[in-house]
Amino acid sequence: MRHFCWCILLLFATKSGAQTLCQVNGAEVYAGPGLQVSINGSVALDSQAHFQNFSELHISGDLINKGQLEHSGSVFIQGNWVNDSIFQANPISLVEFNGAAQQIEGTHVCRFGQLKLSGTGDKNLLQTAEAEELDLSDRLLITDSSRIRVLSNDVQAIERTSGYVISNRFGSLERALQTGVQYLYPVGSLSNYQPVFINPAGNSTYAGVRFAAVDASTEGLPRTQVDTTICRSNASFFHLFYGDLAAGSSISMNVATSDVNSFPFLAQRNPQQTGVWTLVPSSTTLVSGGITAVNHTLSTAIDSRAFLLVRGRPSRPIISGDTAFCKKSLNRTFTITHDSTLVTNWTLASGNIVQQNDSVLIVNWGEESNGLVSAFQSDSAGCSSFPASHSVILWDNPVANFVIDAPDLPYEDVPFTLTSLSSGAVGQYWSIANLMNYSDSVIQVVFDAPGVYPVLLQVVNEFGCSDTASGIIEVIEGMVIPNTFSPNGDGINDELYLINSGVQEFNLKIFDRWGVLVFETNASKLSWDGKTSSGERVPAGTYMMVLSAKTANSTFEKRGALTIFD
């Protein structure tokens, strides 16, 4: 049981003529201005007591009010403040908590004038309290589940050296506002001071702030309930704002730079409504000493809003490349929008990957009818974008084919017939011996020398898809010498044709039966019409042919009879 002393009041520095009244247990107690009163112990007012204080009152113990306490002087208290009834304070009155660990508690709201924290220990607020002005000095004010309200809208209404407010269990720091100035909210956790600044706009009147050093999920704001742009979120803390903040008001939250590096974006949700965390525009400013300010301007007025640092998904990338091409296409290139901090993961429904990196994919396609290129990008924290896809149509290729109709004697100057048997084509292009080009489906070609001649047929369809077929034509060396002809002018076998191929040296002599030379030539391609060099026709009969010829690979020597008919 506490013991209280009401009878011993030590009076110091009393003004001349000042009235003092001190009564015990339920009576009126009056401490006039100019008095300095020290009570070594606790002060308790029962439900019938009425204490008016204009003095400088020092209490080494607790103050417990169950009656009526009117305060217009100064109170310096080293114990706890328990207010279970009426407490009225002049706005310029002072209450200073200058002890060790102290508490403000009770069933009724405490309305202080000037509230100052000093001494050596933390101060715990277990009941909502109001103060015209608040001086935190170097102390921590732990609000628990309660609110501390600063009623003056003077920007200097909160003072501090290194003290700040901690609100881990739904408590907060609230203050009155006016537009045109920036207000400090000195808040933080047990380990870190992380202040908030508000620049109110419009008709803003007040705002409360809580820095909650807990996982938002533990307070009914599940971090798993996010919009699709968010990958993951900070589990260490979140901020809660409430009050009357107009659109256009800006807020700035000082947090550790390492937290911003891990979670560089800001999300919000209304804690009083169902919904999800959604990304909001924000910016960051490096403050100093590993602290970064996260800034946001309200697009709409708020009465309650929670803010959380999050890591957004990388934006869905865009894949660029052709959307249609021919089957069996090689080295088709696809590119993707790329941030150098991201890793690209490519997938291919068909085809074969030739090369890939974070910005380029090169593919060889096969006989598929359609193709699909997909990709997503991931950052260093493992957050991935939604996949992007790029569909392609693969056109059928034409089929190239041809036949070669070779003559019985595949000699030079003898025509070869080539016929295209291609399908699915609208055009064809022949290339023979890399020199001659034709576009007809059936062509005839001749060669002026023996050899092996390559033939290439390229066909195309209406999509520009192509196919090729190849073959060879072999022209051989050789010679055929007829042994009869009838130069009678009937148009049938009128001349002696010497059929040959590849002849480089040639001599033909024809003698009559008496050995007289009637015709001689060195031209292998010339024909003889049965006339002498003087233009006279030789008579019908049997003659002697003497042939000497050379090709690149052979020598021909022949003597034989030649019969000339009428």
HEC string for 162-177: CCEEECCCCCEEEEEC
Q: How far apart are CA 128 and CA 172, in angstroms?
A: 10
Query: Global pTM?
Result: 0.71
User: What count of other Cβ atoms lies within 10 Å of the Cβ of residue 105?
Assistant: 20
Distance of CA 23 to the CA centre of its chain: 77
Evaluate whether 454 touches 433 at the Cβ level (below 8 Å): yes
Evaluate whether 96 touches 75 at the Cβ level (below 8 Å): yes
pLDDT of residue 474: 96
SS3 100: coil
Per-state percent for the chain, helix, strand, coil, to nearest 5:
0, 50, 45
pLDDT of residue 26: 67
The CB-side HSE value for 419 (13 A sphere, CA atoms) comes to 5
Low-confidence ranges of the chain (pLDDT < 70): 1-26
Q: How far apart are CA 324 and CA 344, in angstroms?
A: 23
CA pseudo-torsion sign 459, 465, 469, 470: positive
Six-digit token pair at 531? 């006339």
Strand partners, 52: 30, 70
pLDDT of residue 356: 96
pLDDT tens digits along 206-231? 999 999 999 999 999 999 999 999 99
Q: Which of 368, 331, 361 is nearest to 346 (CA)?
A: 361
Q: Which residues are within 8 A (CB) of 43 and not within 5 positions of it... i.e. 6 or more apart?
A: 4, 59, 61, 62, 63, 64
Distance of CA 252 to the CA centre of its chain: 27
Q: How far apart are CA 279 and CA 270, in angstroms?
A: 13
Q: How far apart are CA 76 and CA 69, in angstroms?
A: 15
What is residue 60's DSSP assignment? S
List the 484-485 sheet strands across, edge first. Answer: 484-485, 555-564, 541-551, 503-511, 517-521
Evaluate whether 109 touches 89 at the Cβ level (below 8 Å): no
Strand partners, 160: none
pLDDT of residue 13: 31
pLDDT tens digits along 505-552? 999 999 999 999 999 999 998 889 999 888 899 999 999 999 999 999
